Amino acid sequence: MTATAESEPKTLSWKVGGMDCAGCAAKIRGAVERLPGVDEVKLSIMSETLTLSLDESKTKPEAIEKRVGSLGYTTSALAPAKQAGSSESAGGPHQAPGDACCGGHDRKHDHGEHQHGDRASCSGHDHASHEHGHADAKADHGHGLPGHVHEVTPEGVSWYQTNKGRLVLATGALLAAAWTASLLWPAAAHWAFILACLIGVAPVARRAFAAAGAGMPFTIEMLMTIAAVGALFIGAAEEAALVVFLFAVGEVLEGVAADRARASIRALGDLVPKTAIVETDGTTQQVDAASLKIGQIVLVRPGDRIPADGEITDGVSGIDESPVTGESVPKTKSAGEPVFAGSVNRAAVLRIRVDKAAEDNTIARIIRLVEEAQEARAPTERFIDRFSRVYMPAIVGFAVLVALVPPLFLGGEWSVWIYRALALLLIGCPCALVISVPAAIAASLSAGARQGLLMKGGVVIEAAARTGIVAFDKTGTLTKGTPRVTDVIALEREEREVLALAASVEAGSSHPLAEAVLERARTDGIRFSPATEASAIPGQGVVGKLDGEEIFVGAPRHATSRASFDEQATAFVAQLESAGKTVAAVIVDGTLVGLIALRDEPRGDASEAVAELKAMGIRSTMLTGDNARTGAAIAGSLGLEHKAELMPDDKVAAIRALSSQAPVMMVGDGINDAPALAAADIGVAMGSGTDVALETADAAVLKSRVRDVVAMIRLARATMGNIRVNIAIALGLKAVFLVTSVLGYTGLWVAILADTGATVIVTANALRLLRFNASKIG
């Protein structure tokens, strides 16, 4: 290997034990970014991973591990297999920075369009298979400030079995013993309180000095250490011991509360069975579900959970997909239809061909997207982080002034004002303020994922909450996306031949309108041969050749340039379109040979969703490439505005025009609406766990229900309301107790109780979102 090759940066990843909050991530990032040769630092809090680009000629990997370890965290290098393909994978936890994965509009689309009106077919996504690298989220045991080190709590371990739990029990026992000694042996009570304080503050002090050594002196641990030791020096040993005990109790309580949000995500992973029955040459064998390979056939018995994403090859059964989509009504599925890992087989034995590896199944991708969404910080969260970096030094400076100015210039007692300054340090900690936003965001993301609503981070939640206009695509969004052929008008050829010609050029397409034509041809028993040189003309239709004849199937308004329409044909088109039907003209070598009419009925909940949006003060509009008459018929039945006959770039222009009036949410199928989804303030894809629905837009509605768009906005607004309440609680309590501490009305133990209490209150308030029913009105 050449010297040049040796110095090329490599992407390396580590599992970081104890990184459980935004403060931890900020601390680690700040520490490793200072090392030479380190670039593109990326941290995933939920999966506890650190990924960075490293020039090993300047800094060795061991130096990274040493630096992170000095901060109180554990590190273990991830195997190369878990790093490979990061930049190619669609959102893995070790994805290289800069890749489009979660939110914003930095998205790549690979879409081949094939349209009749607003229809299109996707050329597909060739997603690289990648390692998930997901590990169970660990409990959050702290305040979320830089310098606050969290221990890893294994699943199933009770709080009192953790180091911090044992510390609470030990300091509590010493405190009780000291109080008992004060009654039985008063002379020893003072030393018993000092011992309880020193034992309790020792681990806190170690973390404080580790953070200070990393360039972060203003941490809650440092404030706590100064306050406890200072109290000992002014003779307040009893209060010092009580403060340390309450601080330890607060940490445990916060950890228990915060772990509930992570547990809801862990529960998603538990939906996928650990084992699977593989069928090979008529024999079956039970294997680890994580080891399943693409192409293998698995046997799923009634009552069992499906172990992998795949396609049914044999059997008919009711499938409960509620773990994936939140839809409670089982769907009857048969050979050729897709199924998702974690779904429950309700009725009969099924044979399923595995289509995706365990690390890339739908449940794994949902978990991964929720994990990554934690990294897409909301603007409010970023502002609070910047505020806290100024606020902490300001509080320390104010406390110094409180300790020095009254004794030096106003004749105050040193012990009194030092005591008040120490109380001020404790109450001034912005723990509750810092955790108020990420706690609510995490709970909201978890609640949404369980209800089939995926939002990719705090940025998306804030954008959804501000939505003033919702723009809907028609086909597959407001309508069912499963049209059927209602009329075949034969003009120059027989009816069966007109259908055969259309089916020939539509063969192989997965677009709903194409499938409707193919289904009608199969139902009528019409034989046809696939056309050659078939290709889509974006926004117009599809063209191909059969037996030397050129066939075009597309919207009449685009077909008029290829063939003449007489009065009879024009009248047929007007009559069909006025009935809300989509018309496709079939042209052979420049001659109009027939018309095919299709109708796609609105979804059952579409009109209800539009009414709910109106009640929330949100405008609704429909953007469709279909003809004006069909668009007007559908929009009129639903009671919303509309724009019809729009090409893909016209939809983008319409979105931009709407954006000048209010923030716009665009809702589409994630395929032909990709440009409009990207142009909107927030793009929402409809789809039951498809790659496009999960990875293209800012958010996804897995149940494909229009009312869930309303539910998403309702959840986002509830989240922002929760955040505002949390900020008010945090700042309000700080303001009250800052004043009372300076005036001497509250002491050290009240100060730490107020600080810890505020943190627990805002965390508990945020966790209320876990029970939020977004589909409930009011």
Active site residues: 473
**Distance (Å) of CA 269 to CA 153, 266, 272:** 18, 5, 6
CA 400 to chain centre: 43
Q: Is 700:677 a contact under the CB 8 Å cutoff?
A: no
**Both tokens assigned to 474:** 């028609």
3-class secondary structure for 654-704? HHHHHHCCCCEEEEECCCCCHHHHHHCCEEEEECCCCHHHHHCCCEEECCC
Name the amino acid, one letter, at 497.
E
**Cα angle 338-339-342, degrees, rounded to a multiple of 5:** 165
Distance separating alpha carbons of residues 775 and 357, to the nearest angstrom:
33
SS3 349: coil
**Both tokens assigned to 602:** 């609105």
**Distance (Å) of CA 280 to CA 168, 236, 363:** 56, 75, 26
Question: How do strand 664-668 and strand 469-473 relate by DSSP bridges?
Answer: parallel
> Whole-angstrom distance between the N-terminal and C-terminal Cα of the chain?
66
Name the amino acid, one letter, at 676.
A
Name the amino acid, one letter, at 172.
G
Distance separating alpha carbons of residues 634 and 603, to the nearest angstrom:
11
Residue 11 makes CB contacts below 8 A (sequence gap 6+) with 40, 51, 52, 53, 54, 83, 86, 87, 94, 96
Distance separating alpha carbons of residues 418 and 233, to the nearest angstrom:
10
Q: Is 121:477 a contact under the CB 8 Å cutoff?
A: no
Q: What is the DSSP letter of 304?
A: P
Q: What is the DSSP letter of 770?
A: G
**Both tokens assigned to 71:** 């901060």
**Cα angle 321-325-326, degrees, rounded to a multiple of 5:** 85
Closest to 14 measured CA to CA, from 90, 98, 71, 88 = 71
SS3 77: strand
**Both tokens assigned to 656:** 């931009």
**Both tokens assigned to 528:** 């046809």
Distance separating alpha carbons of residues 623 and 651, to the nearest angstrom:
7
Long-range contacts of 663-666 (CB under 8 A, 24+ apart): 663/463, 663/466, 663/467, 663/468, 663/469, 664/467, 664/468, 664/469, 664/470, 664/471, 665/463, 665/464, 665/467, 665/469, 665/470, 665/471, 665/709, 665/713, 666/471, 666/473
**Both tokens assigned to 232:** 């000992």
**Both tokens assigned to 296:** 């293998």
Closest to 709 measured CA to CA, from 651, 775, 663, 656 = 775
Could you give the dihedral angle defined by the CA atoms of residues 435, 441, 447 and 452, in that order, rounded to the nearest 10 degrees? Answer: -160
Return phi, psi of residue 210, to 5°. -65, -40
Residue 425 makes CB contacts below 8 A (sequence gap 6+) with 223, 226, 227, 395, 396, 399
**Both tokens assigned to 629:** 């008459």
